[in-house]
Amino acid sequence: MELETRWVEHQRAGETMRAYLARPARVDRPLPAILVIQEIWGPDGHIQDVTRRFAAAGYTALAPDLYSRGGRPEVLSEARIEAVKRFLDSVPQSAWHDQSVLQAELQKRPQAEAQQLGETLGKLFGPRDVDGWVSDLKAWVDYLQASPGAAGQPVGSVGYCLGGMLSFALATAEPRLKVAQVYYGAAPAQDRLQHVACPVYGFYGEHDPRITEPVPSVAEAMRALGKTFEPVVYRGAGHAFFNDTRSSYHVDAARAAWARSLGLFAQYLAPAAS
């Protein structure tokens, strides 16, 4: 399918931010919209590819760059993040969550490289402005609702890892959201669940205990509040099983999850009458 793809800009609090937009090129009317929320790596090649896949399915799809408001700092430049990806792919999986292992691996690198890697790792995995990012995402809903490509049409969200957590968080803060999909992302604090304003659907890997183990308690809390939350745990899959550019990719889980995503969006994002 021929797609229209481009980077677009929007402002919040007087600062410019950008997003990657894709939609069918031969459709000249507004379409239902999907916010595609990045992994920790930003809207990289994989997230852009996923955005195009949703566009090819008949949606206006938008992937905000959450690091872009006010200008991306050099420490989070695309080149620096790609270097971190390569580094993490080369070290034991335990380095992701064990600072002693991580530091030992960094010390094996030349000093200048280790310093840059350490700075970017610290920024990526350090404290996060979740509330600020949710406000950015709400501003992108404003953008979609006003844009010719999606004006007056329903909006849903899907997020991966960091973005999965933000998709769930957005469901507590954005009443215009019709459905939120959460791929291996943490749930909001339980006192925030009462504010969930749309159905939430979860996609989790069996071998991702840090994220998956709390899911039953989240489901119980959502049921008690009368909220829709339907999680699926994919057998044999781990964290980031949908990312087909990483060693974590699990083709069977990814295939099933993709079909489920499309079905849910078709259910909840039926085009509004013109």
Catalytic annotation, residues: 161, 208, 239
Rg of the Cα atoms in the chain: 19
Sequence-separated (6 or more) residues with CB below 8 Å from residue 180 = 156, 157, 158, 167, 168, 170, 171, 198, 199, 200, 201
Identity at 51, one-letter amino acid code = T
Asked if 50 contacts 181 with a C-beta cutoff of 8 angstroms, the reply is no
Calculated CA dihedral for residues 258, 53, 44, 142, nearest 10 degrees = -100
CA dist 16 and 9 (Å) reads 7
Residue ranges with strand state E in the chain: 3-12, 15-24, 33-37, 60-64, 155-160, 177-183, 200-207, 229-238
